[in-house]
Amino acid sequence: QGQLVESGGGLVEPGGSLRLSCEVTGRTLDDYAIGWFRQAPGREREGVSCISRDGGRIDYADSVKGRFAISRDNAKNTVHLQMNNLRPADSGVYYCAAVRSLYIICQDGFPMDYWGKGTRVTVSQ
């Protein structure tokens, strides 16, 4: 049974950086488009960044453009989300999700096949 395992979350000060990783196990990353989503307390889950199956299409939420960068390493079955200049508003639980599709409409509600359990990011002094 395939799984998505997120890592790299933690506590960071405003302006700091974190690199999240999403490892796909039991399946071949090449077959999937991948998205990063986040949910802050009291807020709905939102799409943060998504990358198409071939890496040719990348989308970012307006709030993270210019600060976050998504990448995929199919040889290592891993997708990364580099997060720079973090803000308190970026705090939340970050989930990666996969769908056997060419690309994702990077919004919550797009039907995904698999979800990870999430990794928590806290941006605070």
Output DSSP code: residue 40.
-
Q: Considering only CA atoms, which of 69, 70, 117, 62 is closest in space to residue 89?
A: 62
The identity of residue 110, as a single letter, is F
CA atoms within 13 A of residue 51's CA, in its CB half-sphere: 21
Per-residue confidence of the chain (125 residues) as pLDDT tens digits? 679 999 999 999 999 999 999 999 998 999 999 999 999 989 999 999 999 999 999 999 999 999 999 999 999 999 999 999 999 999 999 999 999 999 999 999 999 999 999 999 999 99
pLDDT (0 to 100) of residue 119: 98
Q: CA 81 to CA 23: how far, in whole Å?
A: 12
User: What's the token pair of residue 20?
Assistant: 């999240």
